[in-house]
Structure formats: C-alpha cells, structure tokens
Amino acid sequence: MKIISINAGSSSLKFQLFDMDSEKVLASGLFERIGIEGSLYTIKYNSEKIREEIELANHTDAVNILLEKLIALDIIASLDEIDGVGHRIVQGGDKYNKSVIITDEVISDIEAFKDLAPLHNPAGLLGIQAVREVLPDVPMVAVFDTAFHQTMKKERYLYPIPYAWYRDYKIRKYGFHGTSHRFIASKAKEILGRENIKVISCHLGSGGSICAIENGASIDTTMGFTPLAGIMMGTRSGDIDPSIIPYIMEKEGKNASEIIDDLNKVSGLLGVSETSSDFRDISKGISEGNSQCLLAQEIFIRRVVAYIAEYYVLLNGADMIVFTAGIGENSLDVRGKIVERLSCLGIKLDESANDSRGEIKKISTDDSSVLVYAIPTDEELMIARDTLELVQNG
C-alpha cells in the first residue's frame, strides 16, 4: 500500500510518499512559491535529488506535477498505486478528537474552523482541493494537530476569563503539534513496554510546545487558543501579559493584528537576540560573546524548565521526559542545560550519552529519577499511518 502525506502551506506543499508495508519513504519533497514568481520544486528519492524551477500557478499545478514526476522518475508505475492521501490540518476545533476520512462535511468543518486558524486551515483546504481535483477517487484523510489534545479536561483547557467567551465564541485552549506528541507517546510506550506511563514530551522546533501525557492521552499542553501561547519560540513570544498589547498599540500607533503579527513573527529568539530565530545562529552568537544571544537562550531554557516542572507536578511524577524536533533533537547544549536545571528533582544527565543526534537515545544516567530520551519525531509517518488505518478500516 502506498500513501502520500501532505502538509500544505499558503504558498507551499510538502509531501512524503510511503510504502506502508515497510513504512519506508519512497520520495519526499517540497513545492515552493506556489502562485508567486520563481516557483520551484525539489524531490528526493533513493539517494537522488532533483530541483526544478517551474511555473506553479496554484496547488493543483503542484499536485499534478508531483504525480507526473513520481511516474516519470519510476517511483510509481501508475496513479492506481496511490491508496490514500493524508493531509495535515492544524485546527479541528472541539469536534475532531481523531483523524477522519475527508467528506464534504469534514471540508465544510475545516472551512468553518478557519476563524480559529486563519493562517493554517485555508492552506490545508488548498491541499485537499488540489488532490481532490487530480485524484478524485483516492480516499483522503484529515489529520488534525488539535485532535490529540481533545482529552484535556475542562479545568485545563479553559481560561480564567468570562465563561460566556467560551460558550459563545469557543475561546479555550486547543493545543497544537498533537501529531508529534502522539508519535512521541507511542514511541515511549514502545520503549517502556507498557501503556500506563507518564511522559513529558518537549517538541522544541522553530515552533515549540510541551505536552503532559498520561496513559497515552494528552492532559495538558503549552500552546493554547492559537500556536502563539506557551514556551518561547523562534519568532513567537509564547505567553506574555495581554496588557502589553494595547500599551504597545498606543506607543507604536499599530492596530491589534499588527501587534499579534509582531508577536508571531519578530518576537521569541529573534526578538530577544536581535540576531536570528535559528538556534544554530544563537549558539554561534553565544560562542562569539553576543550577550543578547545568551539572554535569548537563557529565557528559552527558563521557560521550558518551568513548564516541565509544572507538568511533573501535574502528572505527580513522570516516567520519561522526551526531547524532539529541531532543537530538541540537535541542540545538545540546550537540552543538556535544560536537564541540568532539573537536578533538584533527581533528574540526571548522562553527558556522554547526550552527545548524539538523529537516533532514539537515552540521555539520562541509570540512577536518574526520570528517564530522559531524545527521540526524532515523525509527523509525516503518523499522518500516513492514520491514513492507512482509515482507508483500510473506515
């Protein structure tokens, strides 16, 4: 069985084609600058990589070219080999607690949730519509970032604001990165060989969130009504005092959406370091004595540690803390420093084990009170697995 997982952005389309018997990636790639001058695509397969500038007027063009290339490059013999297509959809509201086969009703729900995810859901719909046009008979599945967090209890997902805002406008914590946290939960279960485990999953990428997981279910997570909440991120502030917004609106003569844009795009590591949103640049800056970079890293670490501590208490102890995504998988220094700050809980870093990237690795000592692991996440595989399961079993 062959499944394509798709992550569509407003002007991009990322894909992976899986052979689900072996869960091997047969091809992966990215279509960029869709609808913009200078559009191009990259496809990787076997050990080859092709890159071509080509006009892509819309997402349908991208899907058409993708399928054409898969055949031309002999990756598949015909379109009949595609058994299903899974789409990453950011916001599934409080209606979807798991992945679903895409029907007209699902499409209109994703459309309706646009209000809650104005940047992301419309992009997901572009991907769905493009595949529907090109492969009308192939089943498609929606995999929601929010679905995994639907197990949170009301006292965890409600904000202490007028209850009518929740009742009338559905203002609540939704949480995101659910597909990654679910992948980590399943890996932790595999590693420990039992179901009833408590895991603190730290997805530290350019976007980041932490999730408290008990018995395979999310009980709390740091992102909120939108992905702007929680820990400090590459360009996003994470949690701040909301009174800052009207104050800075007046000081800078901006409107609320311009300030939210600043909190999303020029805050976080970039905002504090005044150098870069990329942790590699922050680390380089620190090694060159840049004090703003050091400050940015310090705030980042402090905020991650604070949430791990909160979730440790919420879970009444933890079996495993996991680091994943770009920073969690690769920045040995940052994850080492985070673990060191947890020493008051009896959590101990194994420094030599921490010298590892790109593999599942225990990085805590044998006498650490909690296991600490680095685990590479794989959201695309999760999307493909859900798609296969629904295509086969409905």
Chain positions contacting ligand AMP, by CB under 6 A: 205-206, 234, 278-280, 283, 325-327, 330-331
CB of 358 to ligand AMP, least distance (A): 10
Question: How close are the terminal C-alpha atoms of the chain, in Å?
Answer: 15
C-beta closer to ligand AMP: residue 139 or 326: 326
Task: Locate 169 and state its tokens.
Answer: 């406008």
CA–CA separation, 230 vs 243, rounded Å? Answer: 17
List all residues 6 or more positions away from 103 whose beta carbon is below 8 Å from its beta carbon: none
Q: Which amino acid is at 230?
A: G
CB of 337 to ligand AMP, least distance (A): 12
CB of 326 to ligand AMP, least distance (A): 2
- Backbone phi and psi for residue 365, each to the nearest 5 degrees, phi listed first: -75, 165
Q: Which residues pair with 201 in a beta bridge?
A: 211, 322
C-beta closer to ligand AMP: residue 157 or 300: 300
C-beta closer to ligand AMP: residue 60 or 206: 206
Pairing of strands 2-8, 13-19: antiparallel
Q: Which one from 61, 109, 145, 319 is the annotated catalytic residue?
A: 145
CA–CA separation, 278 vs 324, rounded Å? Answer: 16
CB of 207 to ligand AMP, least distance (A): 6
CB-closest chain residue to ligand AMP: 326
Task: Locate 265 and state its tokens.
Answer: 């795009």
Q: Which amino acid is at 123?
A: A
**CB hemisphere CA count around 183 (13 angstroms):** 25
Identify the CA nearest to 37 among candidates 24, 21, 55.
Answer: 55
C-beta closer to ligand AMP: residue 221 or 330: 330
CB of 325 to ligand AMP, least distance (A): 4
Q: Which residues pair with 88 in a beta bridge?
A: 143
Q: Count Cβ atoms within 10 A of the Cβ of residue 22 and give its class: 0-12 exposed, 13-18 middle, 19 or more buried.
A: exposed
CA–CA separation, 370 vs 333, rounded Å? Answer: 19
Q: What is the DSSP letter of 51?
A: E
Q: What is the DSSP letter of 95?
A: T
SS3 304: helix
As a residue count, the chain comes to 394
CB of 330 to ligand AMP, least distance (A): 3
C-beta closer to ligand AMP: residue 146 or 330: 330
Residue 145 annotated to the active site: yes
Which residues are catalytic, by number?
Answer: 145
